[in-house]
Amino acid sequence: MLHVLLVFSPLAGAAIAGLFGRLIGDRASQLVTCGLMALSALCAIIGLRQLGEEPYTVPLFTWMLVDGFAVDWALRVDTLSTVMMFVVSCISFLIHVYSIGYMAHDDSIPRFFAYLSFFTFAMLMLVTSDNLLQLYFGWEGVGVASYLLIGFWYTRPSACAAAIKAFIVNRVGDFGLALGVAATFFIFDSISYDEIFRAAPRFADTQLAIFGASFDTLTLICVLLFVGAIGKSAQLPLHTWLPDAMEGPTPVSALIHAATMVTAGVFLVARFSPLFEYAPEAQALVTAIGASTAFFAATVGLVQNDIKRVIAYSTCSQLGYMFAAAGVGAYAAGIFHLYTHAFFKALLFLGAGSVIHAMSDEQDMRRMGGIWRKLPLTYAAMWIGTLALVGFPGTSGFFSKDAIIEATFAAHAPFAGYAFGLLVLAAVLTAFYSGRLMFLTFHGDPRADAHTMEHVHESPPVMIVPLVLLALGALLAGWVGRDMLDPEGRFWAGAIVTLPDNRVLEEMHHVPTVVKLAPLFALVLGLGLSWLFYVRSPQLPNQLAGRLRPLYRFLLEKWYFDELYDALFVRPALALGRILWRGFDLGVIDRFGPDGVAVATLAAARRAVRLQTGYVYHYAFAMLIGIVALLSWYLFVVRG
Amino acid sequence: MLGSGFDLSPALPEAFLFVAGLALLAVAAWRERQANGFTLPLVALSFLVAALLLLGRDPTPTLAFDGHFVADGFANFVKVLILLAAAGSLLLAPAWLSDEGVERFEFPLLALFSTLGMAMMVSANSLLALYMALELHSLPLYVLAAFKRDEIRATEAGLKYFVLGALASGLLLYGCSLVYGFTGTLRFDVLASTFAGKGGAVLPLGAIVGLVFVVAGLAFKLAAVPFHMWTPDVYEGAPTPVTAFLTAAPKLAAFALLLRLLFQPFATYVDEWQQVVILVAVASMLLGAFAAIGQSNIKRLMAYSSIGHVGYALVGVAAGTGEGVHAVLVYLGIYLVMSIGTFGCILMMRRQGRYVEAIQDLAGLSRSRPLMALALALFMFSLAGIPPLAGFFGKLYVFLAAIRADLVWLAVVGVLTSVIGAFYYLRIVKIMYFDEPAESFDPLPRPGLGLVVAATAVLVAGFPLLPGPLVESAQAAARSLLGS
**How close is the nearest chain B Cα to the Cα of A592, in Å?**
16
Task: Indicate if the pLDDT at residue A486 is higher than 80.
Answer: no
Whether B2 is in a domain gets the answer: no
Q: What is the pLDDT of residue B2?
A: 42
Cβ distance A416 to A329 under 8 Å?
no
DSSP label of B440: P
- CB–CB contact A630 B208 (8 Å): no
Contacts of A566 (CB under 8 A, 6+ apart): none
**pLDDT tens, residue by residue, A409-468:** 888 877 888 888 888 888 888 888 888 888 888 887 777 777 777 777 778 888 888 888
Q: Is the bond preceding residue B388 a cis peptide, omega within 30 degrees?
A: yes
Name the phi and psi angles at B150, rounded to 5: -90, 5
> For residue A306, what is the DSSP state?
B
Q: What is the pLDDT of residue B3?
A: 42
Rg (CA), chain B: 21
pLDDT value, residue B140: 94
CB of A602 within 8 Å of any CB in chain B? Answer: yes
Residue of A nearest to B162 (CA): A616
Mutation site for B-interface testing, chosen from A612, A613, A631 by largest number of B Cβ within 10 Å = A612
Cis peptide, bond prior to residue A466, ω within 30 of zero: no
DSSP state letter for A153: S
Asked, for residue B3, whether it belongs to a domain, the answer is: no
What pLDDT digit, counting tens, does each position of A577-614 carry?
888 887 787 777 777 777 888 888 888 888 877 878 88
Q: Is B406 exposed, middle or buried (0-12, 13-18, 19+ CB in 10 A)?
A: exposed
Output the pLDDT for position B200: 61
- Which CA distances in Å does A109 have to A99, A113, A352? 9, 6, 21
CB contact B272 to A (< 8 Å): yes
Question: pLDDT (tens digit, 9 = 90+) per residue, A506-558?
Answer: 777 778 888 788 888 888 888 888 888 777 777 777 777 778 778 777 777 77
Is the dihedral angle over the CA atoms B398, B403, B407, B410 positive or is it negative? positive
Concatenating the DSSP letter of every residue in A391-404 gives T-TTSHHHHHHHHH
Residue B318 counted as domain residue? yes
Ramachandran sector of residue A262 (left: φ over 0; alpha: ψ -120 to 50; beta: rest): alpha
Decide if pLDDT at B4 tops 60: no
Contact B294 A618 (CB under 8 A): no
d(CA A632, CA A622) in angstroms, rounded, equals 15
- For residue B359, tell me if it sits in a domain: yes
Q: B287 and chain A: CB distance < 8 Å anywhere? A: yes
- State the pLDDT at residue A602: 83
**Angstrom distances, CA of residue A346 to CA of A397, A402, A438, B325:** 13, 20, 16, 76
Find all residues with CB under 8 Å of B366, minimum gap 6, and list them. Answer: B373, B374, B432, B433
Neighbours of B200 (CB within 10 A): 10
Assign residue A381 a region (left: φ > 0; alpha: ψ between -120 and 50; beta: otherwise): alpha
Q: Is the pLDDT of residue A309 over 60?
A: yes
Tell me if B256 is assigned to some domain: yes
Model pTM?
A: 0.62
Query: CB B216 to CB A638 under 8 A?
Result: no
Q: Which residues contact A327 (CB under 8 A, 6 or more apart)?
A: A283, A284, A285, A286, A287, A288, A289, A290, A291, A413, A415, A419
Contact B105, B36 (CB under 8 A): yes
Task: State CA B402 to chain mean position distance.
Answer: 21
Mapping DSSP to helix (H, G, I), strand (E, B) and coil, where does residue A449 land?
coil
A609 contacts chain B (CB < 8 A): yes
Q: Number of folded domains in chain B? A: 1
Amino acid at A315: T
User: Taking CB atoms and an 8 Å cutoff, what residues of chain B touch A609?
Assistant: 291, 294-295
In contact, B125 and B187? CB cutoff 8 Å = yes
Q: How far apart are CA B456 and CA B244, in angstroms?
A: 13
For residue B471, being part of any structural domain is answered with yes
Closest by CA position to B383, among listed B270, B307, B465 = B307
Q: What is the pLDDT of residue B199?
A: 66
pLDDT digits (tens, 9 = 90+) for A78-99: 888 888 888 899 889 988 888 8
In chain B, residues with a C-beta closer than 8 Å to the C-beta of A628 are none
Q: What is the pLDDT of residues B43-52, one digit of tens each?
A: 999 999 999 9
Phi, psi dihedral angles at A64 (to 5 degrees)? -145, 155
pLDDT digits (tens, 9 = 90+) for B333-371: 999 999 999 999 999 888 888 888 898 888 888 888 888
Q: Give every CB contact of residue A105 below 8 A, 6+ residues apart in sequence.
A: none
Residues A177 and A136: beta-carbon distance below 8 Å: yes
On the 0-12 / 13-18 / 19+ scale of CB atoms within 10 A, B444 is: middle
Q: What is the predicted pLDDT for the residue at B484? A: 59
What pLDDT, on the 0 to 100 scale, is given for residue B117? Answer: 95
Residue B208 belongs to a domain: yes
Angle CA(B365)–CA(B369)–CA(B372) in degrees, nearest 5?
Answer: 90
**DSSP 3-state of A626:** helix
Other Cβ atoms less than 10 A from the Cβ of A451: the count is 8
Is residue B190 over pLDDT 60? yes
Q: Do the domain assignments include residue B123?
A: yes
- List beta partners, residue B351: B354
Q: Compute φ and ψ for A515, nearest 5 degrees.
A: -70, -40
- Interface membership of B270 toward A (CB under 8 Å): no
Distance (Å) of CA A604 to CA A220, A589, A595, B236: 60, 21, 14, 22
Q: Alpha carbon A458 to chain centroid distance?
A: 30
The closest CB to that of B226, out of A604, A626, A631, belongs to A626
B229 to A631: CB separation less than 8 angstroms, yes or no: no
C-alpha A145/C-alpha A114 separation (Å) is 10
Q: Quote the pLDDT of residue B51.
A: 92
CA distance B259 to B329: 10
Nearest CA of chain B to the CA of A591: how many Å? 18
- Pairing type for strands A213-216 and B62-64 reads unpaired
B 181-210 near A (Cβ less than 8 A): 205, 208-209
**Domain enclosing residue B309, as ranges:** 9-482
